Amino acid sequence: MVAKRTSKANVTKDNLLHYYREMLLIRRFEEKAGQLYGMGLIGGFCHLYIGQEAVVVGLEAAAEKGDKRVTSYRDHGHMLACGMEANGVMAELTGRSGGYSKGKGGSMHMFSKEKHFYGGHGIVGAQVPIGAGLAFADKYLGNGRVTFAYFGDGAANQGQVYETFNMAALWDLPVVFVIENNQYAMG
Ligand SMILES: Cc1ncc(C[n+]2csc(CCOP(=O)(O)OP(=O)(O)O)c2C)c(N)n1
Ligand SMILES: [Mg+2]
């Protein structure tokens, strides 16, 4: 289903150090977000990615320029890992105009066209068909790009997920479906 790529994972010492820094950035960011949420400085929802850092950092290591990603509401780590600014994400969490959605979207609703990050979705499983749509566009354009569509174990029984698998297989779409099995469903 995924377009064949010739590049191999980089495993030099520098690369490993970089991956470690990325994971640590996510962990520290989330610890701070949790603290601010507890203090009432973050409005709305705030789902942390603590414990799952290696999933997105590992997959981003395999991504190439122009590849797309879309995920659920547990999205802070994905944004940091694809190169979005920690300041911009934190500004959004705290409802400031400098945030990625000008402070109107909050934790679950941030986007970056520049970094090919397509959200941030609160409806469980809804990002999966969106991911297939992004991949359909890339296939149509023939640009060789791949979409990473992340979803949780709690979303894995949603009907639209299976409909998407079916269409992705039929149309041979360049999409990687990633189930992040944290063994809980939101809480
Ligand atoms: C369509 C829909 N049904 C129910 C909910 C309520 N809900 C919010 S999170 C969640 C559980 C999702 O679990 P999972 O996909 O494993 O994500 P995790 O929180 O573990 O990252 C549910 C049922 C929702 N947001 N959308
Ligand atoms: Mg889960």
CATH number at residue 63: 3.40.50.970
| Residue 120 maps to a domain | yes
pLDDT the model gives residue 10: 59
The sheet carrying 68-70 orders its strands as 68-70, 147-152, 175-180
- Averaged over 21-30, what is the pLDDT? 98
Sign of CA dihedral 136, 137, 142, 144: negative
Please check whether residue 175 is in contact with residue 149, taking contact to mean a CB–CB distance below 8 angstroms.
Answer: yes
The residue whose CB lies within 8 Å of the most ligand 1 atoms, and thus the one to mutate among 55, 177, 179, 186, is 186
**Residue 186 within a domain:** no
Residue 32 located in a structural domain: yes
Domain that holds residue 121: 13-180
Report the separation in Å between the CA atom of 41 and the middle of ligand 1, taken as the mean of its atom positions: 24
pLDDT digits (tens, 9 = 90+) for 46-86: 999 999 999 999 999 999 999 999 999 999 999 999 999 99
Nearest to 77 by CA among 121, 24, 115: 24
| Cα R_g (the chain), whole angstroms | 16
Task: Specify if 6 maps to a domain.
Answer: no
Unique residue bearing structure tokens 């479906």: 177
| Residues 123-144: tens digit of each pLDDT | 999 999 999 999 999 999 999 9
Quick one: what percent of the chain has pLDDT higher than 70? 95
Q: Which residues line ligand 1 (CB under 6 A)?
A: 72, 74, 122-124, 151-155, 182, 184-186
Residue 8 within any structural domain of the chain: no
Residue 4 falls inside a structural domain: no
Type of residue numbered 55: V
In a domain, 22, yes or no: yes
Task: Give residue 7's pLDDT.
Answer: 63
Question: Does 1 fall in a domain?
Answer: no
The Cα 136–Cα 154 span in angstroms is: 25
Domain count, the chain: 1
